[in-house]
Amino acid sequence: MQSHEIDYKIIGEGVQLVEIELDPGETVIAEAGAMLYMEDGITFTAKMGDGTNPKAGLFDKLLAAGSRVITGESLFITHFTNQGYGKKKVAFAAPYPGTIVPLDLKELHGNITVQKDAFLCAALGTKISVTFSRKLGAGFFGGEGFILEQLQGDGKAFVHAGGTVIERYLNNESLRVDTGCIVGFEPQINYNIEQAGNLRSMVFGGEGIFLATLRGTGKVWLQSMPIGKLISKLSIFSSNTRKEGGTGILGKILEG
């Protein structure tokens, strides 16, 4: 299915949003709850599936929805369509501070692998599927890097990341990365989980027991502050604040 051609503008710095401009009849798909605003004339429908296979039966739709549950996402993907006259805009916001990364799948060989919670929105015609690391080590030790998502198509897709995004091009090289810091990589990049170092380094180095290794030739995207690390640091800060005799504003927020 050929993807719809959409125009976009990324707005903001700390907590970004992407504004999509749709021609009449064009559709953009997005994670449930990501929409920030939409102009009159745009309608939305929650569907079990990305719309790339309109003839899919109930079983196929349930299977696709079930795979999304594994990634921690909603059962449904929301479809936003311009059914009005003239160009209309709809905007989607990232769920936490960081950066929105635009990806032109046509320029990325039609396929990119991203972290399981990175997808934000994409042109209709983009196929979203779950993939697992084929390496046993990744399954046991990769943590959030074990379950990944594949975005396939020839249109534009948008992913979000925590903190600053670094784009690297590997030229038959290897790069070792914290598993949570990977945003995405091209399909020709080999992904695996490997031991971080010797026993002393693993226990006292503070970098974890295992690291992700990316090998090959192609683009990779990294994030400086994954949401899991941010939550962990905030929890430690809140705990230390309570031990010192006061919760403070942050501690009260985290306590609910």
| Residue position matching structure tokens 């209309």 | 88
DSSP one-letter code for 89: E
Q: How many residues does the chain have?
A: 256
Helix, strand, or coil (residue 80): strand
Q: How far apart are the first and last CA of the chain?
A: 46
Q: What is the mean pLDDT of residues 191-204?
A: 60
Specify whether the CB–CB gap between 127 and 49 falls below 8 A: no
Q: What is the mean pLDDT of residues 220-234?
A: 73
CA proximity to 21, closest of 86, 111, 100, 93: 86
pLDDT digits (tens, 9 = 90+) for 81-139: 999 999 999 999 988 888 999 999 999 989 999 988 899 999 999 998 887 665 545 44
Lowest-confidence pick of 40-44, 70-74, 207-211, 228-232:
70-74
Question: Is a pLDDT exceeding 60 seen at residue 32?
Answer: yes
pLDDT for res 225: 82
Q: What is the mean pLDDT of residues 11-37?
A: 93
Helix, strand, or coil (residue 202): helix
Please, what's the b/e burial string for 165-193 (b: 16 or more CB within 10 A of its CB; e: otherwise)? beeeebeeeebebbbbbbbbbbeebebbb
pLDDT confidence of 205, banded at 50, 70, 90? very low
Q: What is the mean pLDDT of residues 236-250?
A: 55
Question: Is a pLDDT exceeding 60 seen at residue 250?
Answer: no
Please, what's the b/e burial string for 11-46 (b: 16 or more CB within 10 A of its CB; e: otherwise)? eeeeebbbebbbeeebbbbbbeebbeebeebbeeee
pLDDT for res 68: 47
| Residue position matching structure tokens 């697992």 | 132
CATH of 7-225, one of 3.60.160.10, 3.40.640.10, 3.40.50.150, 1.10.287.90: 3.60.160.10
Instruction: DSSP for 36-70, please give it.
Output: EEE-TTEEEEEESS-SS-TT--HHHHHHHHHHHHH
The DSSP H or E segment spanning 236 is helix 227-243
pLDDT for res 104: 95
pLDDT digits (tens, 9 = 90+) for 42-80: 999 988 777 776 555 454 545 554 444 555 555 688 999
Question: Is a pLDDT exceeding 80 seen at residue 159?
Answer: yes
Helix, strand, or coil (residue 167): strand
pLDDT confidence of 142, banded at 50, 70, 90? very low
pLDDT for res 1: 72
Question: Is a pLDDT exceeding 90 seen at residue 228?
Answer: no
Question: Is a pLDDT exceeding 90 seen at residue 247?
Answer: no
pLDDT for res 85: 92
pLDDT for res 196: 63
Angle at 33 between CA 31 and CA 36, to 5 degrees: 105
